[in-house]
């Protein structure tokens, strides 16, 4: 009789431990899936913000390159869009992208309103800040798996 009680208690204990272990495995798998979903969402958000900034930067360069063709209303709209996309990207990018992002956005802004310095064409004045931003964006994409 004593062995039957011990066997029953032991069976119940083993069953309870197996149930707890199964719950832990399930919870860990759910946590991994949730982390993967969050990572994928952030990756897509980061990629979208980089793409959007590139698009508005190109528009700002085009406007700055032919400044006399555009009135202040159009300049203001492009300028506002540039800074809106800048702020969105700055919120989600890594610290390594901030400095090149700042340099390119500020250079574009100055060139839009005042032209490139020293008689340079806008595209020439933007070469270095644009190159730095592209390199940092490429690193951002590679480091965080954006794409």
Name the residue ranges covered by the structural domains of the chain.
Answer: 43-144
With residue 100 as reference, give the H or E element that holds it. helix 95-114
- Per the structure block, which two tokens stand in for 139? 């690193």
DSSP letter assigned to residue 66? T
The per-residue pLDDT for 144 is 66
Residue ranges for the chain with pLDDT beneath 50: 146-147
CA separation for the pair 135, 129 (Å, rounded): 10
CA separation for the pair 100, 106 (Å, rounded): 10
CA distances from 111 to 1, 46, 78, 107, 139 (A): 93, 26, 12, 6, 26
The per-residue pLDDT for 105 is 98
CATH classification (class only), 43-144 = mainly alpha
């Amino acid at each position: 009789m004593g062995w039957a009680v011990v066997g029953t208690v032991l069976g119940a204990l083993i069953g309870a431990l197996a149930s707890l272990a199964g719950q832990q495995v399930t919870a860990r798998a759910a946590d991994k899936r949730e982390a993967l979903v969050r990572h994928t969402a952030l990756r897509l958000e980061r990629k979208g913000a980089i793409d959007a900034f590139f698009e508005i930067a190109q528009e700002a360069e085009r406007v700055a390159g032919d400044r006399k063709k555009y009135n202040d209303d159009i300049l203001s709209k492009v300028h506002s869009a540039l800074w809106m996309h800048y702020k969105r990207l700055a919120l989600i990018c890594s610290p390594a992208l901030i400095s090149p992002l700042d340099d390119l956005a500020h250079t574009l802004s100055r060139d839009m309103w005042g032209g490139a310095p020293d008689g340079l064409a806008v595209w020439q004045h933007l070469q270095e800040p644009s190159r730095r931003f592209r390199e940092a964006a490429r690193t951002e994409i590679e480091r965080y798996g954006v794409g």
